[in-house]
Structure 1
């Protein structure tokens, strides 16, 4: 399995991972064969990438840290929760707690966690996928930080609900494709307080979890919002969610900008961490996010092109790659594999789609 742009898809390609639309609805199942009309539909829906199965990616497994069924359940729960609250219903705290416990338990079953970014995101399902992604990323970071089981649950509940306040923000502001005015930005900022006020009314959810909604935009230098808190004034849960929130936003297509690569996002976080983020949290976060995830197309310094088939945990920038195209651009009759951790004369020069 490997990831390619929908603009490079061709009729006859096999879908490698289920493609979601409008939250958790499955648009195309894994194993479906693409047609020209399917490809046009994906492009029109704003789905810019999909996973495919082909001879290049034969035997490449891209495991998720939670079961697909659990991820779909969580996405649907976030969607239904936000829609229900918008229409005046109460949050179903039992279901929220239940799905977070399931996510925590599945993550704790993994001995050596590496997250490959498995989601196929479009602008229409961003909010729901984002909430679940931030939850998963935050919990795995919490595991790296050696938080207790109960703390991981509190963290996960706060993370999955961190943007619940956005149901109270006018859609014309939330979905605006052009730059926000100062007044509109002030309205957007209120989602933190609005979310906190929603969550704190639920007795089954702790104050620490509710504070994630309130404080996930606070920054170490005091230049965040809403209260301008600094450093250890910000709860550890909010410091974790801040990193996960920024990372997932950067690596997602939005109405107003295109996403950036994993390695660019990590570089950005590293730069701003000196003043704005908890550096220890970011250090743990970076350990679980390989800069070149499995299934990524790459170009080596010698001009050969290939796909990442494995990650070296101790040297994540030097993965195992399958060479598909020689330096002259011709597809190889048989593919060889290089472990960049051992063959140090090679390094990844850039990422690239394996179209030619």
Structure 2
């Protein structure tokens, strides 16, 4: 199984992973893509899909959590944000139950390196984003040696960090053009709205509610809503600040296209680093392989291949299955090369493997 852009899909390709619109399934795993299916997925803002072919049919990509758990979490966020009224509190017990299940599944995994396999549509970005941020935050918290109680508080805060957006007018939240300064000020109010909503819930701790309030605060004091600096920002909020940026960068938005995992890591490490907690960022980049399994890559000699194994100690130097020669011709026999065992080859960029 490997991921390719929807623009490069051709009728007859075999879908390697089911595609959902929120909690509603669009296409089952194993479906044969038709031109109609491909065009409809484009309309829904799906930019990539997983396919099965002879290049990658033996590759197994394990998500950080069970697909059923992920879908339930997305459905919960969607239901909570679409049906919220000031007279009806969110189901905090369900949120806690979902987070507990996510923690159990992550802790039972043999490998903490992350492969996030979620395929988002533009319409359901907010819901899937909340779940991804929750998963990434919990894994980062584990790497930081947080205890179980702390992980639960962190997870709940991360899952509900954007809940305040339900108070923002949809025409501003979904605007395709650049926001005016007045509209941006309204967007920024979601942090305080989120805190106010969560602070009313009997089962949600003050610490979890602070995540909603502080996840846009920055180490240099230039964040919002209160311009907090460094340790004035709770550790959980500092964790979510990192995971929130990463998932936003690697997701298609109405106003811009996603960037690759390695580009997002580079941005966090070099551009955003002064505004983030260095210890949190250091742990985070250790759990995110810059070139996940199933990613197409191009080497410095011009050959193209697909990542088939991550080297934990050398995440930038995975095992690559070489598929295409430098002249673009397909190899008669695929070769596998462990970049951690040679200095002759390096990955210079992502690449789409299209025959």
TM bin (shorter chain)? over 0.9
Retained in 1: the 8 A contact 2:17–2:29? yes
Matches within 5 A, 1:107-186: 107-186=106-185
**2-side partners of 1:16 and 1:66: how far apart?**
17
Alpha-carbon distance between aligned partners in 2 of 1:58 and 1:136, rounded to the nearest angstrom:
27
Equivalent position of 1:55 in the other structure: 54
**What is the CA distance between 1:344 and its match in structure 2?**
1.9
1:174–1:88 distance in 2 versus 1, CA, 3 Å: farther
Cα distance in 2 between the residues matched to 1:266 and 1:350: 13
SS of equivalent to 1:90: coil
Query: Structure 1 residues 258 and 344 mapped into 2: Cα distance closer, same or farther (>3 Å)?
Result: same
Greater mean deviation of Cα atoms: 186-195 or 119-128:
119-128
Q: Displacement, 1:273?
A: 4.4
In 2, distance between residues paired with 1:143 and 1:255?
A: 33
Match of 1:260 in 2: 259
Larger mean Cα displacement after TM superposition, 346-355 or 208-217: 346-355
Match of 1:15 in 2: 15
**What is the rounded CA distance, in whole Å, between the counterparts of 2:274 and 2:323 in structure 1?**
42
Say whether residues 1:351 and 2:350 are aligned partners.
yes
Note the C-alpha offset of 1:182.
Answer: 0.7
Aligned partner of residue 308 in structure 1, secondary structure = strand
Q: How far apart, in 1, do the equivalents of 2:107 and 2:223 lie? A: 32
The root-mean-square deviation of aligned C-alpha atoms, in Å, is 1.0
User: Displacement, 1:59?
Assistant: 0.6
Displacement of 1:250 after TM fit?
A: 0.5
Query: Take 1:256 and 1:338, find their aligned partners in 2: how far apart are those partners?
Result: 38
The count of aligned residue pairs is 355
Which portions of structure 1, spanning 4 or more consecutive aligned residues, are displaced by more than 6 angstroms?
none
Alpha carbons 2:95, 2:156 under 8 Å: kept = yes
In structure 1, the gaps of 5 or more residues are none
CA spacing shift, 1:206–1:87, aligned 2, 3 Å: closer
Q: What TM-score does the superposition give when structure 1 sets the normalisation length?
A: 0.98
Alignment check: 8 A CA contact 1:273 1:279 kept:
no
The answer to whether the Cα contact below 8 Å between 1:199 and 1:210 also exists between their aligned partners in 2 is yes
TM-superposed deviation, 1:86 = 4.7
> CA contact under 8 A between 2:238 and 2:280: conserved in structure 1?
yes
Equivalent residue of 2:334, what SS?
A: strand
Mapping for residues 1-356 of structure 1, pairs under 5 Å: 1-21=1-21, 23-86=22-85, 89-356=88-355
**Deviation at residue 84 of structure 1 after TM alignment:** 2.1
Equivalent pair of 1:305/1:325 in contact (CA under 8 Å): yes
SS in 2 for 1:177: coil
Alignment partners' CA distance in 1, 2:24 and 2:62: 21
Residues 128 and 274 (structure 1 numbering): CA distance in 2 closer, same or farther, change over 3 Å? closer
Q: State the shift of 1:275 in Å.
A: 2.0
CA shift at 1:235, angstroms?
0.3
Deviation at 1:272, TM superposition (A): 3.6
Query: Deviation per CA, 1:24-82, whole angstroms, max 9, x where unpaired?
Result: 11100111111111011111111110000000112111101111111111111111111
Residues 15, 51 of structure 2: 8 Å contact kept: yes
Residues 290-309 of structure 1 deviation map (CA, whole Å, 9 limit, x = unaligned): 00011110111111110001
1:17 CA drift (Å): 0.7
Instruction: Answer whether contact 2:64 2:116 (CA < 8 A) is retained.
Output: no
Q: Distance in 2 between matches of 1:201 and 1:272?
A: 37
Q: Distance in 2 between matches of 1:350 and 1:273?
A: 21
